[in-house]
Structure 1
Amino acid sequence: MSKVFTLSQLTCALAALSLTSLAGASGLDRSGQPSEDFSASGTLAYVSAYHLSPDVSGVDVTGRKVDSLAEEYEGYGYGVKTDVNDKVSVGVFYDQPFGAAVSFEGDNLLTKTTNGQFMPTSADVSTDNFTGMLGLNLGANNNFKVYGGPVLQKIEGDVKLNGTALSILDGYTLNIAKNDAYGYMAGVAYVKPEIGLKAAITYRSEIDHDVNYAESMPIAGALGLTAAQTKEAELTTPKSVNIDFQTGLNATTLLTAKARWVPWSDFVIAPPLLNDNVVIANNSQPGAVRIDKANLLQYSDDAYMVEVGLGKRLTPALAVSGSIGWDSGAGNPVSPLGPTEGYYSVGLGAKYNVTPAWSVSAGAKYLMLGDADGVLAASGSKIGTFEDNDAYLFGMKLAYQAK
């Protein structure tokens, strides 16, 4: 049985790269919420995984080194979609869209030693998205597609701030217990498989979570303020727009392009106890500039990403791909919990058809991370400068695709 690629299948050679292209990008973005599979034809099933290995360091405002602050992490995804008939398709997809994994090391403003115990500033935030999809093919040749469906999102997190220079925030801890909330996605696409053409735009809604913020602020108690509380408040993850495009250049070559927009400037994490105590403590100081809001995490700009790639069939069963990309970041200065501003990237990938339906893809990507100044959102205090950092990404994907 033949293992030959068609133009429409060549795009799968880029699949592993598309899954890893946004890990470690703007704000808390990780997966990039891949959308290209929503408009695929036939039956599709896949499992994927990636590993991020970052090298992020800097110096604090006193000149001391801030070392090894970004931790390695893995991400996973899977999906299945099938055509009920020539007009209707259904599917379910899973990804991990947003997250953070940082831990500050060394002797600097964001660490301390108490009773011989080293205590770093750290953050661990994770999310899970489950997306249901209903698709409709329109037109005499089914060239137009519309698709959409509900999104179930789970979020949880832990944050610890340590460092005597942090004043009232020294020793602050936050736990966000796992919380479920719902949103939706919707998209439209135009496809012309005979020339490998597809253009699609996918919108994901913001999702409002009512989370329990369990907070502790030891120093606040010494100041006569509330030292600990658990209180429900809103946390809204951002909406996004993904654009996917591909077209065949010849019988063995496919051009791809993708773009993404996320309004990170609208995103904040504002734990109630931290907000109340920092506002009271600040405004009680003689001559202090009065404030009415103190956030744990916020961004100043929206984020934009573009990526261009080429897929090339080398043999009837083997295709390779390359890509270059740019991410704007979400503004500078940035939070110390993610102290880089965007990136430039280059990547390589390959896909091998084990059988006509089953394939294995692998990809690697190098990210040159943007320089940034780290500032605590709650106090506006500069913590340090983070320069000359980079990251490596490795991804794999096992896929089944049949008409």
Structure 2
Amino acid sequence: MGANFNLKTLTVALAALSAASIASAAGLDRSGQDITAFLQDGTYAETVYTYLDADVSGYDNDYVGKDKNAYKQGNKIGDIAESYDFFRYGVKADINDTFSVGVLYDEPFGAAADYSGNNNFVAQGDRDAVIKNVTGNPAYSEAVIDTVVIPTLQAQLAPGNPQNLTDGQLKEAQANYIGVLTAKKAADAEELTKGEGTNVEVRTENITAILGMKFGENKNFQVYGGPVAQQVQADVKLRGLAYSAATGYTAHISSDQDYGWLAGVSYSKPEIALQAALTYRSEIDHTLPIFESYPAASIEKAGEIDITTPKSVNFDFQTGINPTTLATAKVRWVPWSDFAIVPPVYTDVSKAQYPEGLSLVSYDKDQWLVELGLAKRLTPALAVTGNIGWDSGAGNPVTSLGPIEGYYSAGLGAKYNLTDNWAISAGGKYLWFGDAKGQIPTKNVVSNFEDNDGFALGVKLSYQAKQNFN
């Protein structure tokens, strides 16, 4: 066979790229759930810090009418994407030439959005605007419903049906009466939360334990798997006209831990630096404490919420092109169309108008992520990398709490071996976000976001030592 490509030195280059590996913009994906630390040769440990800063700005919807998909450019929405950072840790060791063990930590899913300024996602304290929005009647104001509408409806609904209304007319009057009272409560919430913007923060943490077993004549194949412990917590505030009667809604989901699993198979051919791995992560079912406040329904209640974080499939591939150059590919699939956050109070209140109830967050499509890269070893100690990527997003329109339809990306990285065992890596990516319209749970389009971008920076410190079992 030709020149030995030397897997260890070529992965010097590959590791530089993953220092800036960040999550997709689709759904709540963040870390990409990388497991390549476990696939390293010998004893290996890494700590990775990633920082993401995005600019996600647009306009609210000034359209008034019954078409849910119609859009008319309204007020400016400044950058809603809060910068965030997270850590990833990994350690792996070979027990012998057959069995390996590892532990990985990452923060796989999350969200951070915060609205501010003069737009429909910030409570402006305009009681009459809320009343018009909730009732759907542009002629209504608080004075009108207090002096005309409510007295008229109370007369129609007086005991004994003094106006001889039909059953249908009585039901309509009852619905209208409930509607105007709800509008007044929503106006109270708008005034009480004046100046507050819509805000969401979701964080998750994963710890994965992995056991791998190599087999085959040259130990080229490996199967691996293990348990996953996951914690989830979230806070959501809905504010402003965009959410109509739900303005003022607040939910706090407390952290709790539940469990899933991981399984995969890999193949390696060190003489040409070839390595391929297919990894499946299970969905994880959570039952979490939640406290909800829904002012328009006069409800403050503690309870429980069921959330299932999605399963995923990752495919990682690399192969040597020549003794100093490596080609890489990564494909990731996450079925976000199966995911939803369904708070009990929020959903129950929505059943008055939507019999099946509304979820607070849901997605229409699954996510696909593809990254292609090249890594070049310039000297025995220094390597550089470059890659391009595409993320499909999870549908458009998409939730107003994360209005991005995927992205294109380009990245550069470098790694320097400090000693035979210790190395430091750094990398960056620039992201072009896909244009998207934001929608609320009723599927009404409430905003439009275009021409947005962001960048990610990553730093990694790693340790690697060859183990010899001869």
TM-score, normalised to structure 1's length?
0.93
The match for 1:59 is 59
What residue number does 1:11 align with? Answer: 11
The whole-number CA distance in structure 2 between the counterparts of 1:324 and 1:11 is 18
Q: How does 1:241-390 map to 2 (within 5 A)?
A: 241-280=313-352, 282=353, 290-377=354-441, 379-390=442-453
CA contact (8 A) 1:20 1:394 kept: yes
Are residues 116 and 255 of structure 1, via their aligned partners in 2, closer, same or farther at CA, if it must alter by over 3 Å? closer
Q: Are 1:218 and 2:218 counterparts?
A: no
Does the residue aligned with 1:179 lie in a helix, a strand or coil?
strand
Q: Does the alignment pair 1:98 with 2:162?
A: no
Letter of the 2:277 counterpart? A
- Please tell me the residue identity of whatever aligns with 2:439: V
Is the contact between residue 20 and residue 50 of structure 1 (CA under 8 Å) also seen in structure 2? yes
Q: Could you report, residue by residue, the CA deviation over 1:193-245 in whole angstroms, capped at 9, with x for unpaired residues?
A: 12100011000000000112211001112xxxxx1211113100000000000
Provide closer, same or farther for how the CA distance between residues 234 and 194 of structure 1 changes in structure 2, counting only shifts above 3 A: same
How many Å separate the matches in 1 of 2:406 and 2:355? 29
**Which amino acid in structure 2 is aligned with residue 130 of structure 1?**
I
CA separation in 2, counterparts of 1:116 and 1:123? 16
Asked whether the equivalents of residues 16 and 383 of structure 2 are also in contact (C-alpha less than 8 Å), the reply is no
Alignment partners' CA distance in 2, 1:96 and 1:267: 18
State how 1:138-153 maps to structure 2 within 5 Å: 138-153=215-230
Kindly indicate whether the alpha-carbon contact (under 8 Å) linking 1:8 and 1:197 is maintained by their aligned counterparts in 2: no
- The alpha-carbon distance between structure 1 residues 33 and 12, as it changes in their structure 2 partners (threshold 3 A), is farther
Give the TM-score, by structure 2 length: 0.80
Q: What is the correspondence of 1:183-202 to structure 2 with a 5 Å cutoff? A: 183-202=260-279
- In the aligned structure 1, how far is the partner of 2:350 from the partner of 2:437? 22
Q: How many residues align?
A: 385
Distance 2:296 2:194 in 1: 19
Conserved? CA contact 1:16–1:48, under 8 Å? no
CA distance in 1, matches of 2:367, 2:355: 27
Moved more, 157-166 or 69-78: 157-166
| More helix per residue | 2
Query: Out of 368, 384, 393, which is 2:456 matched to?
Result: 393
Bigger Cα displacement from structure 2, 31-40 vs 293-302:
31-40
- Asked if the contact 1:8/1:194 (under 8 Å) is kept, the reply is no
Unaligned runs of 5+ in 2: 63-73, 125-190
Partners of 1:325 and 1:82 lie apart in 2 by 31
Superposed, 1:3-42 pairs within 5 Å as 6-18=6-18, 20-42=20-42
Alignment of 1:134-213 (within 5 A): 134-213=211-290
Task: Give distance in 2, aligned partners of 1:350 and 1:27.
Answer: 29
Amino acid at match of 2:405: E
Partner of 1:231: 303
Tell me the percent identity. Answer: 54
3-state SS of paired residue (2:403): coil
The letter of the residue matching 1:238 is: P
Q: Any gaps of 5 or more consecutive residues in structure 1?
A: 222-226, 283-289
RMSD: 1.4
The structure with the largest strand share of the pair is 1
**Quick check: 291-300 or 363-372, which moved more?**
291-300
Decide which moves more: 159-168 or 86-95: 159-168
